[in-house]
Amino acid sequence: MEKIQTLRGFRDILGDERKKISFIENISRRYLSLFGFSEITIPVLEKTELFIRSIGDTTDIVEKEMFTFTDRSGESVSLRPEATAGMVRAYLQEGLYTKERVSKLFTIGPMFRHERPQKGRFREFHQINVEVFGVGDPLIDAELLWMVSLILNEIEVSNYKCEINSVGCPECREGFKKELMAYFKGYTDGLCDDCVKRLQRNPLRIFDCKNTQCTSISKESPLLFDHLCMPCREHFERFLTYLKEFNLFFTINKRLVRGLDYYTKTVFEFTSDELGAQKAFVAGGRYDNLIEGMGGPATPGCGFAIGMERLALLVKKEYTETQPNFFFAYVGEEARTYLIPVLKAFSKEGLRLRYSYEDKSLKSQMRYADSLHADYVLILGDEEIGKKIFIVRDMKQKRQSEMPLDLITLPQKITEHIHR
């Protein structure tokens, strides 16, 4: 019978990569807690309308990449392609805006996009999504970038750039769109079919196109940055001041846009050349009109997402266990009666203990302990019971010693023994 394989773009995550991702999660949670964020869990399946209204119906995500289907009740639903829309929905549905002046939330979990799998990019991928609702001052924009830099420093990732830009507000864009349309109309023969359609519906989306010809044409286009209104320009200048006060290194990339319609003012990406053409592994920005556009009160917002698989590719640090691994090797029926008491004693002290579920010879158990990379093996047989001792074998140093057969003091004594 043929074995069932995972779907294209979906996969199992295990071994060293899983350890790296867990490490990233743990470090991120620590800093997010330090900065006052609370964790929230949101559904992976939402009404399709949520993403159309928030992300924009002219974006590649909505037009081409969402996993959308009709459920048994006839309603169109989609697997979430990103988390901000769901976070805003939860913020409004749970009435957090009536309870908190500022809401700082994060969620960790899978996202889904039907795109071509490539290095570090899959159809199911995992993100840490961080959102702040209720702060309009660009100080929070800079603070979020500083927090990202602290996380990257902690996990020893240094080969990256922080790119920033401002995409202005709806008022800035109106005049810019007219100039942009005039520019691209001179190149309609060179644009792909999708971009010809975008030219009429939303010319800003042409910047998202991956077609090499369209990308080449876009490189000489007018810049939205040059059309910023005075409030947006002042916001960006204050943002730069804060970044410098945090001693953050950054590059202003005036062609940086995000592939979602809800962004306003600040946008940013952390990129690395080690990841290939699609080199961003952290991305985000400000979305001051999104909450109001989804039926809530006028509330500024700002946030970012960390791509876990992509960041894990940049982590070079080797992970070694700091806590020792213990193994209990028992020989004989009487020694086996000590198994559960020993296991309970070690568990109570937070010490890891492995053992064989089958009655095997001591030699066989020692081979098994070695395959599990045990640091210490506790050996107990009839002879040891008669002497009221454990044999403790140091698997790295290849030497052994004796300890009293006292389950109450054993975990403490063995810990003291290995730290001598």
- In tens, the pLDDT along 304-361 reads 999 999 999 999 877 666 788 999 999 999 999 999 999 999 988 888 999 999 989 9
Same domain, 261 and 360: no
Q: What is the pLDDT of residue 212?
A: 84
Same domain, 289 and 235: yes
pLDDT at 260 over 90: no
Which tokens go with 279? 């080199």
Lowest mean pLDDT among 29-43, 208-222, 228-242: 208-222
Highest mean pLDDT among 142-151, 175-184, 249-258: 142-151
Average pLDDT for 223-244: 95
Lowest mean pLDDT among 27-31, 32-36, 208-212, 341-345: 208-212
Lowest mean pLDDT among 3-12, 179-188, 286-295: 179-188
What's the structural domain count of the chain? 2
Print the domain residue range for 135: 15-169+229-314
Q: What is the pLDDT of residue 133?
A: 98
Distance CA 383, CA 52 (A): 73
Q: What is the pLDDT of residue 340?
A: 93
Is 178 among the domain residues?
no
Sign of CA dihedral 136, 244, 262, 117: negative
Q: Last residue of a domain, which of 253, 287, 314?
A: 314
CATH of the domain at 390: 3.40.50.800
Same domain, 88 and 115: yes
Q: What is the DSSP string of 228-283?
A: --HHHHHHHHHHHHHHHHTT---EE-TT---SSTT-EEEEEEEE-GGG-SS-EEEE
Lowest mean pLDDT among 12-16, 94-98, 347-351: 347-351
Backbone angles phi, psi at 374, to 5 degrees: -65, 140
Q: Last residue of a domain, which of 262, 289, 314?
A: 314
- Label residue 189 by pLDDT band (50, 70, 90): confident
The mean predicted confidence, pLDDT, of the chain is: 91
Q: What is the pLDDT of residue 207?
A: 78
Same domain, 261 and 357: no
Same domain, 365 and 264: no
- Side chain identity at residue 46, one-letter code: E
Is 199 among the domain residues?
no
Same domain, 234 and 299: yes
Is 263 among the domain residues?
yes
Same domain, 277 and 408: no
- Label residue 56 by pLDDT band (50, 70, 90): confident
- Label residue 204 by pLDDT band (50, 70, 90): confident
Which tokens go with 372? 């599990």
Same domain, 293 and 331: no
User: Secondary structure of the chain: what % helix, strand, coil (to 5)?
Assistant: 40, 20, 35
Same domain, 408 and 260: no
Say if CB 396 and CB 375 are below 8 A apart.
Answer: yes
For the whole prediction, is pTM greater than 0.95?
no
Same domain, 346 and 400: yes
Average pLDDT for 275-284: 90
Distance CA 45, CA 112 (A): 10
Distance CA 262, CA 279 (A): 22
CATH of the domain at 24: 3.30.930.10
Same domain, 151 and 295: yes
As to burial, measured by CB atoms within 10 angstroms (0-12 exposed, 13-18 middle, 19+ buried), residue 31 is middle
- In tens, the pLDDT along 373-399 reads 999 999 999 999 999 999 999 999 999
Q: Last residue of a domain, which of 266, 287, 314?
A: 314
Give me the residues paired with residue 107 across strands: 129
Backbone angles phi, psi at 78, to 5 degrees: -140, 145
DSSP classification of residue 7: P
Same domain, 132 and 251: yes
